[in-house]
Amino acid sequence: MKVGLAQLNIHVGNFRANTDKIIKAIQTAEAQGAELVVFSELGVCGYPSRDFLEFDDYINKCKEAIDEIALHTHNIAAVVGAPSRNPRVDGKDLFNSAWFIYGSKVQQVIHKTLLPTYDIFDEARYFEPNCVFELVEYKGKKLAITVCEDIWNVGNENPLYIACPMDELVRLKPDLMVNLSSSPFSYQQYEERMKVVYANCKRYNLPMIYVNQVGAQTELIFDGGSVVVSEKGELIEQLPFFQEEVRVVEVGEKPKPITYHLPSKTALIHDALVMGIKDYFGKLGFRKAILGLSGGIDSALVLCLAVKALGRENVMSVLLPSAYSSGHSVDDSLALVKNLGSPHEIIPIEEPFQTYLKTLQPLFKGLESNIAEENLQARVRGTLLMAMSNKFGYILLNTTNKSEAAVGYGTLYGDMCGGLAVLGDVYKTQAYELAHYINRDGEVIPSNIITKAPSAELRPGQKDSDSLPEYDILDKVLYQYIEKRHGPRELVGMGFEKALVDRILKMVNMNEWKRFQAPPILRISPKAFGMGRRMPIEGKYLG
């Protein structure tokens, strides 16, 4: 059977655009001789639709889209993801479903069984789990159609669930497994995903068509990477990462295995962040970005990623030197914008900063200068950037990295301003790896930006290490605490000094209130700040 894999960039709630894409993909696959074309999970409305799913009109529009798509399936079948209503009076109102459409009408609707409710997922909030298992018969073949998480309990070994959909479906003797997925990207997700696909194919001795969504939905980034795998667990076809594509594959005819070389973790993170920026702007209808360019590695990195995503002419850099800014910070920034060919402005902040100090002098009289004056400089910068944003229609890109966000090393309403946090899930040490990756074919980011000691430059001779542990140590502790959820005793058992552990964990937990007010963060790790890490703001654990 010739099967089309339709890996599409879906826009949540944009029914017209999504429906047009699906219809075009059906026509493309049919023109290439496909008998069946498979789409991603909830492809009609987009994943995740979240509380849009609670609107009756939203669900009606999903069904209207399905009906329109059906008109284009006279000679080809399509498996399309969309919610469906639960006809029973008990349970949730909706199922997360795969609609099998052929002959210009809906033939069967298969529901998702396993509803993830962990990390970034909250499907049990909206959907009823399936409890009826059936195959779809088409062209003399029996298809076992599953939706995303349904294949992640292979062999009933996942402790989160008590059911294994494929264990039920295999009793009905299917010929082919089909999985509609919306599996969000993290830098380790592809390898974990492929382990699951291979394990299913080997356990059930069946080939699998696996179609994953591509594109970004605010924080969540979907990498695509759809595959066809043989019953022996051999990779037969691989679609690209971070690109839309419709590809037709012959399934079941003595497949020839291929070897796929996974890009490096740094390359994947780079491409994910570029897509995250591009889709955030494109899907919201924004065109131009602005950021403060400090001469440090984080803002340099954000500029490079934004130029790649939006085009050099659409990214405005603003240099905002203070009395404490080093000359090389300005020179390095100017060298960077010259290398990229992007526009820039220079706005010294000393005059407005002194005006603020004069205004506050009666209140601050007799008090030593401290962090209040340091933060005031950051807030002057934030005010100027937001003024330009309002006046010229720019969206401010936040440049705070994950290490800084974790320990609260940032100023609310200052350097924490922005519409999107590009590096909020990128540790400082990873930022250096990304900078070297960007410079892999020649110097884009000036070497001095990469090699100099990190500094906020808010007081004479300031370095980040004055306030924080060295980043190579800090990031190791943060990774074990945030991504791996290891507590203080476990961290000390790994060889980290107790005083260091106590200091770092206290900073992380005390600054949840700051992160609560931060912009949305592009997620590239298995555990990002935001929707996937829900902590009480006033919690005292380890505090």
Phi-psi group of 257: left, alpha or beta (phi > 0 → left; psi -120 to 50 → alpha; rest → beta) = beta
H/E element holding 169? Answer: helix 165-169
Residue among 471, 453, 477 nearest 463 (CA)? 453
Parallel, antiparallel, or unpaired: how do β-strands 214-217 and 394-398 relate?
unpaired
DSSP state of 87: -
Q: How far apart are CA 476 and CA 484, in angstroms?
A: 11
41 is catalytic: yes
The sheet carrying 235-238 orders its strands as: 136-138, 141-147, 176-181, 208-212, 227-229, 235-238
Residue among 37, 43, 35 nearest 11 (CA)? 43
Structure tokens at 50: 């979240």
Helix, strand, coil percentages in the chain from 3-state DSSP, rounded to 5: 40, 20, 40
Query: Which of these is catalytic: 30, 41, 123, 404?
Result: 41
Contact between 416 and 400 under an 8 Å Cβ cutoff? The reply is: yes
Query: Which of these is catalytic: 2, 21, 61, 112?
Result: 112
Q: How far apart are CA 480 and CA 468, in angstroms?
A: 17
Query: Which of these is catalytic: 62, 148, 164, 201?
Result: 148
Structure tokens at 417: 């301003």
Structure tokens at 165: 């959909």
Position 42, amino acid: L
CB atoms within 10 A of CB 29: 24
Sign of the torsion formed by the C-alpha atoms of 434, 437, 438 and 439: positive
DSSP state of 444: S
Active site residues: 41, 112, 148
